[in-house]
Amino acid sequence: MTKGKVDALLGIVFGDEGKGKVVDVFTPRYDIVARFAGGPNAGHTIIFDGKKYVLRSIPSGIFDTGKINIIGNGCVIAPDLFMAEAKELEAAGYDIKSRLHISKRAHLILPTHRLLDRAYEAAKGKNKVGTTGKGIGPTYSEKAARTSLRVGDILERFEEKYLALKARHEQILRDLNFTGYDITEEEQLWMKGVEYMRQFKLSDTETEINKALREGKNVLAEGAQGTMLDIDHGTYPYVSSSNTVSGGVCTGLGVAPNTIGEIYGIFKAYSTRVGSGPFPVELFDATGDKIREIGHEYGAVTGRNRRCGWLDLVALKYAIMINGVTQLIMMKSDVLDTFDTIRVCIAYTKDGQTTTDMPYDTEGWQAVYKDLPGWNTDLTAMTSADQFPAELKAYISFIEAETHVPITIVSVGPDRAQTIEL
Ligand code: IMP
């Protein structure tokens, strides 16, 4: 953590690593916490004092009442969902209006974008991506097509702009034979959300962040999703629609590459994936079910079963390379407390060929495993790395030796307090 720098905290596999919890732990060390990509497809869970919060668009630094939180230009935002999320925090006693700033350059998710998400998925049949249905893909597509609406648009002649875009969407939906929907109520709520958003500071957040950096303040960029869901580097087309990698911090916040400091890569002690797409380490047996049960691996946004498997070092090393990860954070280590053997995928194999480099298409590749002894010890009450069993220490050392990056934090449970710095 260096003054005047932007540190990034990134999910480096398929998301759902527990970024929310770590951002919440890190926030006291930063002046600003900012989201730079994604939208309400994310579900960042934070648990403290026996209460659980799930944040979707709002940065996880919001619980520290002295800190500014920013939704950056690289994000997409749905006013109705934003309002529901923000009001929940207000009801819990958090005064967020003065501390949450939203980029005027962030793009708006319309109710019809969500319909388009459903219509495009339906048209794909068995090749569907398995999106969260939040309109992410259609909104980012329109951003690239230069037809989208941005948060700054709500400040003038908004209705006219909204109706024109909605009419365009309705035409596309008719062309796709996607009919029979009624969004009247949803649209009313969405418009209320737009009104509500006007009460927040809608600003040129890139200027604000850069001024803060010049004053020696520091920023934590909170990632969403994970590297393998990145639009360029993930398992395309089974990916989300934004740059979730460290490069996305620069474009999604408007900060130069030389402002980036530490890059924290967050991963789970095992692997999960939600939605469709290749997943070489996927377990279809009782071990996969056991990991899902113990790890409560059900989607925070959609409630879907997460697909589970052992740690994938091919993916991890690839993500470390793409992001320039300087420190690793291993989450949910306690989920592996009751396994006699812990497997780690060290390579992929297909048709007699073996690789440790991420292939262009991971479809059809099988995992090659190395077996390590499990620790068979309850980690959840541990407060220091000195208490770690030898097998966990060996697991950590093995990952460090393979990736050449230190693991500096190990999480042993969902609570803030169950976070051990090494
Ligand atoms: P979308 O982002 O809703 O378009 O979904 C695209 C793919 O990314 C789907 O496979 C989703 O399940 C996955 N995805 C999107 N957001 C998250 C997340 O926050 N965690 C894990 N997977 C996600």
Using a 6 Å cutoff on CB, does residue 73 contact ligand 1?
A: no
> Ligand 1 pocket, 136 CB below 6 A?
yes
As a residue count, the chain comes to 422
Q: Which residue has the tokens 């790395």?
A: 385
User: Ligand 1: does its nearest atom lie under 6 Å from the Cβ of 134?
Assistant: yes
What's the Cα-to-Cα distance from 145 to each of 29, 117, 139, 142, 231, rounded to whole Å? 39, 16, 10, 5, 16
Mutate which of 240, 268, 297, 331 to test ligand 1's pocket (most atoms within 8 Å of Cβ)? Answer: 240
In the chain, % helix, strand, coil (3-state, to 5) comes to 35, 25, 40
User: Which amino acid makes up residue 172?
Assistant: I
Residue 370, helix vs strand vs coil: strand
Q: Which pLDDT does position 182 carry in this prediction? A: 95
Q: Residue whose CA is closest, atom 12 of ligand 1?
A: 275
Residue 367's pLDDT is: 98
Of 101, 80, 100, the C-alpha closest to 183 is 80
Tokens encoding 308: 């589970």
Mutate to test the pocket of ligand 1, among 55, 109, 131 (most ligand atoms within 8 A of CB): 131
Looking at residue 3, its pLDDT comes to 81
Output the residue whose Cα is nearest ligand 1's atom 21. 15
Q: What is the pTM of this model?
A: 0.95
Name residue 40's amino acid.
P
CA-based radius of gyration for the chain: 21
Indicate if ligand 1 lies below 6 Å from the C-beta of 37. no
pLDDT score of 200: 97
Is the C-beta atom of 228 inside 6 A of ligand 1?
A: no
In what helix (H) or strand (E) does residue 246 lie, and over which residues does it extend? Answer: helix 246-253
pLDDT at 356: 98
Residues involved in catalysis: 16, 44
- Tokens 């596999």, residue located: 13
Closest ligand 1 atom to the C-alpha of 136?
Answer: 4
Query: Quick one: pLDDT at residue 352?
Result: 95
d(CA 129, CA 275): 6
Centre of ligand 1 from the C-alpha of residue 353, in Å: 30
**Phi, psi angles (nearest 5°) of residue 93:** 100, 5
- Angle, alpha carbons 243-247-252 (nearest 5°): 65
Return the pLDDT at 1: 65
Q: Is the CB of 275 under 6 A from ligand 1?
A: yes
Q: Which amino acid is it at 154?
A: I
Long-range CB contacts (within 8 A, 24+) of 391-395: 392/333, 395/269, 395/342
Measured CA to CA, the distance from residue 203 to residue 211 in angstroms comes to 13
Sign of CA dihedral 101, 106, 111, 116: negative
Query: Residue 20: what pLDDT?
Result: 86
pLDDT at 283: 98
DSSP state of 150: B
CA of 137 to the centre of ligand 1 (A): 10
Q: Is 137 in the pocket of ligand 1 (CB under 6 A)?
A: yes
Which two structure tokens, joined as six digits, stand for 421? 């710095």
Give the integer Cα–Cα distance in Å for 131 and 302: 9
CA 355 to chain centre: 28
Residues 7/325, Cβ–Cβ less than 8 Å = no
What's the pLDDT score for residue 350? 97
Residue type, 370: K
- Sites in the chain below the pLDDT cut of 50: none
